[in-house]
């Protein structure tokens, strides 16, 4: 399996499919998943002629179960290690949830200064800041994230099943049929990763203020989110991202969930493709 070793010795697993001379699209997964969560997108864009790349975040999937560096700065630096290793240029970076925060930090700190980024796509992404603070009173109370940590510590397998079968895909909504296969795949990806990385990742995705990252990004960014996202409130996420970014296109999908990339891929993928293809 392909890996790249970072400066602190972390081995990052990555997938790299498609023609080496095609425009690259790199995908960044959410918490607590892996690059496998992008199957529906990687195959779609591969068949549309693109080179597609995705990596497992440190402590997730097949990457190193390392005891440190579970923060946005290390996540972004790990992305840079993969990009540099593959010498990717003119890249479109697509990030979901925590992966959206990873994209924002990478583009602002590494990719844009290096001239390697063409565009970005933020899907149900966590920036600018999830947690409630005195300066951000409309955020999610820290007690909610403390509850996540308590549930993960008590019984990670049970907690992950509850998330996947409930709010993540909106399977807890009346009239929404539950897909056991989708739940099982989410649970499989989560349980493959490290409990420590998942525990510390909660702080990374909820308490990292990425306002400055968003303001620094000048490349075109497509911002997508469902208005029935029960994980990341869209008014505090997508709407504010579009306000802070210099060149943003915002689309809110009526009734769609946090996991819309999987359960509504046939709607989302063409919209991302149209954005990528815009001159």
Q: Mean pLDDT of all residues in the chain?
A: 98
Which pLDDT band, with edges at 50, 70 and 90, does 1 fall under? confident
Q: What is the pLDDT of residue 189?
A: 98
Give residue-wise pLDDT tens across range 213-263: 999 999 999 999 999 999 999 999 999 999 999 999 999 999 999 999 999
pLDDT of residue 130: 98
Instruction: Summarize pLDDT for 149-166 with one digit per residue, the tens.
Output: 999 999 999 999 999 999
Quote the pLDDT of residue 137. 94
pLDDT in tens, 36-82: 999 999 999 999 999 999 999 999 999 999 999 999 999 999 999 99
HEC states along the chain?
A: CCEEECCCCCEEEEEEECCCCCCEEEEECCCCCCHHHHHHHHHHHHHCCCEEEEECCCCCCCCCCCCCCCCHHHHHHHHHHHHHHHCCCCEEEEEECHHHHHHHHHHHHHHCCCCCEEEEEEECCCCCCCECCCCCCCCECHHHHHHHHHHHHHHHHHHHHHHHHCCCCCCCCCCCCCCHHHHHHHHHHHHHCCHHHHHHHHHHHHHCCCHHHHHHCCCCEEEEEECCCCCCCCCCCHHHHHHHCCCEEEEEECCCCCCHHHHCHHHHHHHHHHHHHCC
Residues annotated as catalytic are: 97, 229, 258
Provide the pLDDT for residue 175. Answer: 95
Confidence (pLDDT) at 190: 98
Query: Whole-prediction pTM value?
Result: 0.98
Q: Which domains does the chain have, with CATH numbers?
A: 3-277 (3.40.50.1820)
Percent of the chain with pLDDT over 70: 100
Confidence category of residue 132, pLDDT binned at 50, 70, 90: very high
Structure confidence at residue 15 as a pLDDT band (50, 70, 90): very high
């Amino acid at each position: 399996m392909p890996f790249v070793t970072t400066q602190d010795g972390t081995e990052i697993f990555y997938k790299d499919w498609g023609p080496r001379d095609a425009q690259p699209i790199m995908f960044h997964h959410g918490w607590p998943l892996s690059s496998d969560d992008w199957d529906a997108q990687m195959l779609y864009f591969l068949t549309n002629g693109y080179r597609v790349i995705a990596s497992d975040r440190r402590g997730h999937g097949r990457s190193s179960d390392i005891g440190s560096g579970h923060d946005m700065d290390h996540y972004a630096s790990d992305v840079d290690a993969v990009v540099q290793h593959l010498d990717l240029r003119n890249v479109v970076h697509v990030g979901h949830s925590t992966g959206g925060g990873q994209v924002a930090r990478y583009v602002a700190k590494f990719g844009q200064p290096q001239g390697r980024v063409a565009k970005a796509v933020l899907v149900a992404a966590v920036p600018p800041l999830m947690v409630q603070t005195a300066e951000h009173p409309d955020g999610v109370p820290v007690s909610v994230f403390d509850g996540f940590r308590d549930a993960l510590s008590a019984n990670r397998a049970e907690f992950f099943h509850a998330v996947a079968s409930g709010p993540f895909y909106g399977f807890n909504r009346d009239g929404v049929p539950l897909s056991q296969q989708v739940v099982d795949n989410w649970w499989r990806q989560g349980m493959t990763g490290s409990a420590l990385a998942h525990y510390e990742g909660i702080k990374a995705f909820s308490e990292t203020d990425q306002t400055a990252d968003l303001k620094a990004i000048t490349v075109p960014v497509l911002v997508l989110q469902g208005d029935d996202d029960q994980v990341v409130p869209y008014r505090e996420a997508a709407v504010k991202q579009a306000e802070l970014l210099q060149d943003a296109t915002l689309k809110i999908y009526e009734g769609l969930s946090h996991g819309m990339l999987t359960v509504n891929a046939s709607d989302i993928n063409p919209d991302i493709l149209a954005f990528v293809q815009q001159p």
